[in-house]
């Protein structure tokens, strides 16, 4: 199986650390324009997906092959293409179960690709954040509210969350790993549907510096 992937150096390390049932041939790309030199991959993973028109058009040329896009905040209805959304945030992709949302027309063989790789997959609703990213982003946002009120320090909040929930990271450690701008973009998307996700002022300031 040949898989073309566009990912950062850090994500490539996380991808290589994820166990597979077979040994696929990974074609690592530095730019979406490298797709034209990727031959005929069986699937495409875009970990650096954005909704610019050039990227959309280049990826769409490879349909109906499975095209997996790391689009945590943006839903398929906004993307407007039958791609497969997945959570490719750092620290999430390497987990035992990969969350993904599929278009109404089906996954174009995406589930079969993942089964062949030996990866467990959970089909979730096509909503901003899928499932786990929604939860973690809400926790991070609440941690920023707590911190800006002067209740506790960042370090104290991280330690308390790890001890109390057995999470691998505290909320501020998560925000640093994931990237505060990613968290901010997701919270803005979720805020449109529910005011519970109203972005903490300090989080917004740090994300928009």
CATH no. for residue 179?
A: 1.10.1040.50
Q: Are 13 and 112 members of one domain?
A: yes
The DSSP H or E segment spanning 85 is strand 84-86
Q: Are 186 and 144 members of one domain?
A: yes
Cα separation of 171 and 192, whole Å?
A: 22
Q: Are 175 and 197 members of one domain?
A: yes
Q: Are 53 and 144 members of one domain?
A: no
DSSP string of 8-33? -HHHHHHHHTS--SS--EEEEESSGG
Q: Which residues contact 78 (CB under 8 A, 6 or more apart)?
A: 51
- Which ranges of 20-178 would DSSP assign to H, the alpha helix? 53-60, 76-79, 110-117, 132-148, 154-165, 171-178
Cα of 130 vs its chain's centroid, Å: 9
Cα of 74 vs its chain's centroid, Å: 10
pLDDT of residue 106: 87
pLDDT of residue 94: 87
Closest-CA residue to 27 (of 4, 60, 49) = 4
pLDDT of residue 167: 84
Indicate yes or no: pTM above 0.75: yes
Of 123, 150, 169, at which residue does a domain stop? 123
Q: Are 136 and 99 members of one domain?
A: no
Q: Which domain holds residue 168?
A: 132-207
pLDDT of residue 166: 83
Of 76, 99, 123, at which residue does a domain stop? 123
Domain with residue 53: its CATH number is 3.40.50.720
Q: Are 14 and 114 members of one domain?
A: yes
Q: Are 100 and 7 members of one domain?
A: yes
> What total of structural domains would you count in the chain?
2
User: Rg of the chain's alpha carbons, rounded to an integer?
Assistant: 18
10-residue mean pLDDT profile of the chain (209 residues): values are 95 92 95 92 96 93 96 96 95 91 91 94 96 95 95 93 88 96 96 92 95
Q: How many residues does the structure list for the chain? A: 209
Q: Which residues contact 193 (CB under 8 A, 6 or more apart)?
A: 128
């Amino acid at each position: 199986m040949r898989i073309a992937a566009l990912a950062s150096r850090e994500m490539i390390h996380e991808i290589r650390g994820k166990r597979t049932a077979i040994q696929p041939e990974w074609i690592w790309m530095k730019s979406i324009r490298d797709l034209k030199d990727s031959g005929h991959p069986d699937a495409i993973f875009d970990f650096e997906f954005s909704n610019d028109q050039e990227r959309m058009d280049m990826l769409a040329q490879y349909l109906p092959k499975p095209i997996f896009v790391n689009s945590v905040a943006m839903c398929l209805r906004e993307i407007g293409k039958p791609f497969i959304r997945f959570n490719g945030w750092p620290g999430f992709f390497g987990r035992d179960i990969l969350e993904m949302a599929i278009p109404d027309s089906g996954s174009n063989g995406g589930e079969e690709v993942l089964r062949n790789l030996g990866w467990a997959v959970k089909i979730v609703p096509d909503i901003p954040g899928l499932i786990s990213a929604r939860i973690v982003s809400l926790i991070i946002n609440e941690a920023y509210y707590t911190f800006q009120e002067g209740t506790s320090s960042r370090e104290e909040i991280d330690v308390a969350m790890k001890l109390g929930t057995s999470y691998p990271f505290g909320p501020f450690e998560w925000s640093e790993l994931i990237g505060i701008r990613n968290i901010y973009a997701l919270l803005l998307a979720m805020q449109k549907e529910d005011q519970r996700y109203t972005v903490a002022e300090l989080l917004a300031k740090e994300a928009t510096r």
